[in-house]
Amino acid sequence: MKITKLAFFNPQGNFDKNDSHLTEHPDFGGQLIYVKELAKEISKLGIKVDIITRKIVDEKWPEFSDNFDYYPGYENLRIIRVPFGGNKFLNKEKLWDHLGEYVKQIINFYSKEKKFPDFVTTHYGDGGISGTMFLYKTGINYSFTAHSLGAQKKDKFSNFDEKFLEEKYRFSIRISAERTAIKYASLIVTSTKQEKEVQYMHPAYKDISIQNIKKFFVIPPGVNTSIFNNVENEQSKYYENILGKFNKSFIILSSRIDPKKNHISVVKSYVSNKRLQEKFNLIIVVRGIDDVYKYSQKNTDEAKILNKIITLAKNKNLLSNIIFLNIQSQHELAALYKAASKFHSIFALTSKYEPFGLAIVEAMACGLPILATKFGGPVEILDNGVYGKLVDPDDIEDISKKILEIANNYIYYKEIGIKRVLSNYTWKSTAEKYLEKILHSKNRKIENIELPKFFLKQI
């Protein structure tokens, strides 16, 4: 039996036609791009697709107040916003209490339409447990794509008080939701083998993952090659004119300003290495921040990181070597990458751990060679260092050494990077593989569903 209608459950993700705030907030990571691009590509295969997310009526988030939205040119794809958890924006940790309401609203919506989806694909732990509750009420199967798992995040806070962590991050609820989503999913999708073999084999999930190991499939995400490519355009020429004034190459840091992304290691490497300073300037992408120096005085994690970067550079009299760019869209980011590649620039992502590393693929597609963390998905993207350089994100000297090695063989790494993307990482390929696995698993018999009490009482 074929699929005609597919629903994506993403309770927290704020989707709209203009990609407002995309990846800007720590709750809206790469999973938003993943869901958006995958949904678009599946809809092009003739399948009706709904992305179901939260309706927010909040003056700070005006883009997400309508019941429906769409992406121009994708007539088979709808963004559906359902109200739950009140009107105002809520951080993801506060959404757990309201997911039963989310599921009830979805059931009510499809009951009125008299047409339910054939299958549901769920994302992140909150989407996963919502899929389980939906299955419990309707019998419609779901896939689970975690993107990241709570136990790994909890491990990084091992020095913190357990009670504090539970109050702030609600790890026990998240891990319980993730375990339940794994147990009752008919299909579990990971982006890399390492995600399957390391993340899901964490002691918090190992037993349930082994029991369901036959449901696991590795499907790498893709890149939107209509945006991220090495073909110059008017926007890239604009950035080329700006960058050309510096008479140097650039090391580009464009991931979210977040402690996990570990910008500090690259900055420390740069300020301690004369050869890097002679050859490169640093470009640090910020989103929605016009005055970085003023913003850095605020009391937020993002501001503290920016303040530390500024201080490190200032102490070495290198502030003029750091360029902060307020990039607002994927089109602007791609244009920056294309322009920077003309000046033999390098993309760096030295996260403490990176589940996949979609940003790496996007940069490679635009012609930027890659320096990336050796912990997580980049190992597979770069094939253990064949297509770029892998580093320990805390090894300052090795970061400098590997950047200079790339610079000395720049054209080689640029060309093999582009070939790697086009042969392995397109959303068309991802969508086709997803659909193939969904078709094989949609009728898998899932019985005797036992929801954790926290969620059972909600539904």
Nearest to 151 by CA among 180, 127, 175: 175
- pLDDT-derived band of residue 341, with 50, 70 and 90 as boundaries? very high
User: How far apart are alpha carbons 30 and 146 in whole angstroms?
Assistant: 12
Q: Which residues pair with 231 in a beta bridge?
A: none
Predicted pLDDT at 55: 96
pTM: 0.81
- Looking at residue 80, its amino acid is I
Predicted pLDDT at 1: 61
User: Span 140-158, mean pLDDT?
Assistant: 91
Q: Which residues pair with 52 in a beta bridge?
A: 9, 80
- Quote the distance between the C-alpha of residue 45 and its chain's center: 24
Write down the mean pLDDT value for the chain.
Answer: 94
User: What CATH number belongs to 234-423?
Assistant: 3.40.50.2000
CATH number for the 5-222+427-457 domain, one of 3.30.450.20, 3.40.50.2000, 3.40.50.850, 3.30.420.40? Answer: 3.40.50.2000
- Looking at residue 316, its amino acid is K
Tens digits of per-residue pLDDT, 90-99? 998 999 999 9
- Quote the distance between the C-alpha of residue 203 and its chain's center: 24
Q: Looking at the predicted structure, is the pLDDT value of residue 153 above 70?
A: yes
Nearest to 87 by CA among 56, 114, 59: 56
- Looking at residue 1, its amino acid is M
Question: Do 5-222+427-457 and 234-423 share a fold?
Answer: yes
Q: Would you give the end-to-end CA distance of the chain in angstroms?
A: 30
Q: Where are the domains of the chain?
A: 5-222+427-457, 234-423
Higher model confidence: residue 24 or residue 183? 183
C-alpha dihedral, 310 to 315 to 316 to 321, nearest 10°: 20
- pLDDT-derived band of residue 27, with 50, 70 and 90 as boundaries? low
Three-state DSSP at 266 gives helix
Q: Which distant-in-sequence residues (6+ apart) come within 8 Å of 99 by Cβ?
A: 11, 84, 126, 129, 130, 133, 455, 458
User: How far apart are alpha carbons 69 and 63 in whole angstroms?
Assistant: 10
Tens digits of per-residue pLDDT, 222-238? 998 999 999 999 999 99
User: Span 295-305, mean pLDDT?
Assistant: 95
User: How far apart are alpha carbons 5 and 357 in whole angstroms?
Assistant: 29
Q: Which residues pair with 83 in a beta bridge?
A: none
Predicted pLDDT at 5: 97
